[in-house]
Amino acid sequence: MRILVTGGAGFIASHVAQAYVEAGHEVLVLDNLSSGRKENVPGGARFVFGDAGSETAVEAVRTFRPEVLCHHAAQINVRTSVSDPVFDAKENIVGTLVLLEAARKHGVRKVIFASSGGAGYGEQEYFPADEKHPLKPVSPYGVAKVAVELYLQYYRVQYGLEYTALRYSNVYGPRQDPHGEAGVVAIFCERLLKGQPALINGDGLQTRDYVYAGDVVRANLAALSRGDGLSVNIGTGIETDVNTLFRTLRDLSGSRQEEIHGPAMPGEQRRSVIENGMAFNELGWYPDVSLDEGLARTLAYFRDMVKSSGTW
């Protein structure tokens, strides 16, 4: 089938696009390269440079006529969303609406949307959170993810445009950017391998649900034919605190760095973990890669990157 992957030069979506190509699908990647890299676009996929909400994106939908729109392009910086919620809404809500309008006008059958479990649920009332947990986002970024899910339901009812929203927990793995507001796994990997101090925010007891990028890819493959009309958690159901994460990566890297704790991040969520029973029942999905194995794979990727950059 023909699949348009927005943000397909970025961390998660480039892996998804590669899997779609390897499965024999015809893939078009749309990305503005603000955080993605052209070299991440898989061989065999076509590439168009542009924003998700631009005329270029609309023209790509009109001419490529995808059967599925896999939408990962987004403004992903939570702090940016807090400091400039109007910008965040333009990128993450209005930009998505432009795509949805093009999709319903030009024959798209289904939208697969990269949503968020942690940001959507906010400070959880129970652990792990299932899909019935109240949606109480505490950032404009989280609000935007929830809003898009509601719009997807509207387009399904009004126009018959199917969707599956995948509510990711904290995704980590190869190609994650260790700079800017990036995942702590990528930051720790780069700093430990370069012999630079890896700082733990606060007491390090804040927890997250870390899911490997390769497992997330399998969820996107399953969603091509399953999960219609659903918002589905994609996580492990396991909490891991930052101290444990640091110690594991330190041991794997061979570093001798002691734990260095800095100030806590203002407003940082204390605990976040999501339940994945619906993913198993509706998508046939369950995480295959353990945290130890995933961290070892990710560290090996960053080790290769550090060596190739000449700063080993």
- Give per-residue pLDDT as tens, 228-280: 999 999 999 999 999 999 999 999 999 999 999 999 988 788 999 999 999 99
Tell me which residue of 152, 128, 147 sits closest to 137, measured CA to CA: 147
Asked if residue 311 belongs to a domain, the reply is no
Could you tell me if 43 and 138 lie in one domain? yes
Degrees to nearest 5, angle at CA 280 with 274 and 286: 70
The total of structural domains in the chain comes to 2
Q: Determine the pLDDT at residue 268.
A: 84
Asked if residue 283 belongs to a domain, the reply is no
Could you tell me if 163 and 296 lie in one domain? no
Asked if residue 310 belongs to a domain, the reply is no
Q: Confidence band (pLDDT; 50, 70, 90) for 310?
A: low
pLDDT at 169 over 90: yes
Q: Determine the pLDDT at residue 138.
A: 93
Asked if residue 24 belongs to a domain, the reply is yes
Q: Confidence band (pLDDT; 50, 70, 90) for 179?
A: confident
Tell me which residue of 19, 17, 115 sits closest to 74, measured CA to CA: 115
Q: How many Å apart are CA 220 and CA 252, to the nearest integer?
A: 30
Average pLDDT value for residue range 60-75: 98
pLDDT at 311 over 60: no
Is 168 an annotated catalytic residue? no
Q: Determine the pLDDT at residue 267.
A: 75
Could you tell me if 93 and 189 lie in one domain? no
User: What CATH number did the domain enclosing 204 receive?
Assistant: 3.90.25.10
Could you tell me if 21 and 36 lie in one domain? yes
Q: Confidence band (pLDDT; 50, 70, 90) for 309?
A: confident
Asked if residue 276 belongs to a domain, the reply is no
Could you tell me if 215 and 197 lie in one domain? no
Q: Which of 192, 218, 234 is at the close of a domain?
A: 234
Average pLDDT value for residue range 37-61: 98
Could you tell me if 194 and 216 lie in one domain? no
20, 121, 141, 168: which is the annotated catalytic residue? 141
Tell me which residue of 233, 235, 4 sits closest to 111, measured CA to CA: 4
pLDDT at 79 over 90: no
* Those residues with Cβ within 8 angstroms of residue 270's Cβ, 6 or more apart along the chain or in another chain: 123, 206, 207
Q: Determine the pLDDT at residue 312.
A: 43
Q: How many Å apart are CA 48 and CA 135, to the nearest integer?
A: 34
Q: Where are the beta strands (DSSP E) in 61-148?
A: 68-71, 110-116
pLDDT at 189 over 80: yes
Domain housing 247: 173-208+238-268+290-305
Q: Confidence band (pLDDT; 50, 70, 90) for 182?
A: low
C-alpha torsion sign, points 63, 65, 70, 76? positive
Mean pLDDT across the chain, nearest whole number?
96
Could you tell me if 300 and 221 lie in one domain? no
User: 95 near 52, Cβ under 8 Å?
Assistant: yes
User: What CATH number did the domain enclosing 146 receive?
Assistant: 3.40.50.720
